[in-house]
Homo-oligomer: A and B are copies of this chain.
């Protein structure tokens, strides 16, 4: 049975899911997603093909579940932020830096998921997460320096900035991460600030 409600403490389940995830990452480095099959994944994971179906309905379902895990990881990184004396704004940029560090730390995984042109589920999820964060941020700042004064529609500004952040992270990954997380976060700061500061 596919059961995600209970805490899966059974080490066999954890082991199998890890093997599947590793096999998936492994195969994605070698071949296109189109050539991916449950058979191949099971073979590479050294498990039975039937066992795969005990955990996931099919490959898209597997991708969704793994993407869920990615978002949980991101949330974990973001929420582990110490609530200290710095301003909300500074917090935002520190948060982004932590996110980039996390991605850099697990680069092999994120290169084949976020970086691949073949698994749009992952970029879609990151995009949605960034949209939420930026929407919150804009609503906090709604009173003083916001986009309205420059005649910019709020939803367009959100689309624009979320896409820009997500796309830049993807390009950064695809190009072997030529900048440190700290440097890139700083560049984001400069770029976004140019957008909403000069009114």
Residues of A within 8 A of B (CB): 32, 34, 58-60, 117-118, 120-121, 124, 127, 150-153, 155-157, 159-168, 170-172, 175, 179, 184, 187, 190-191, 194-198
Distance of A159 Cα from B34 Cα, bound (Å): 27
Q: A161-B164, A194-B194 are in contact. List 13 more A-B contacts (CB 8 A).
A: A34-B60, A117-B121, A153-B179, A153-B187, A156-B179, A156-B187, A160-B167, A162-B167, A163-B166, A163-B168, A167-B167, A194-B195, A198-B198
Chain B residues contacting A59 (CB-CB under 8 Å) are: 34
Interfacial chain B residues near A164, Cβ < 8 Å: 160-161, 163-164, 167
Do B190 and A171 have beta carbons less than 8 Å apart? Answer: no
Name the residue of chain B whose CB is nearest to the CB of A119.
B120
Closest B residue to A158 by beta carbon equals: B171
Copies of this subunit: 2
Residues of chain B lying within 8 A (CB to CB) of residue A175: 155
Q: Within the complex, which residue of B152, B163, B190, B198 is in contact with A152, where a contact is CB–CB below 8 Å?
A: B190
With a CB–CB cut-off of 8 A, which chain B residues contact A198? 194, 197-198
Q: CB-CB < 8 A to A151: which residues of B?
A: 190
- C-alpha spacing A162/B196, complex, angstroms: 19
Chain B residue with the shortest CB-CB distance to A191: B160
Residue in chain B with minimal CB distance to A59:
B34
Cβ-closest chain B residue relative to A161:
B164
Q: Whose C-beta in chain B lies nearest to the C-beta of A164?
A: B164
Give Cα distance in the complex from A169 to B119, angstroms: 20
B contact residues around A194 at 8 Å (CB): 150, 194-196, 198
Q: Report the separation of the CA atoms of residues A194 and B146 in the bound assembly, to the nearest whole angstrom.
A: 13
Please determine whether B150 and A190 come into contact, CB atoms closer than 8 angstroms. yes
Q: Are A172 and B159 in contact (CB under 8 A)?
A: yes
Pick the most buried of A118, A172, A187, A194: most chain B CB atoms within 10 A of its CB. Answer: A194
**A120 with B117: CB separation less than 8 A:** yes
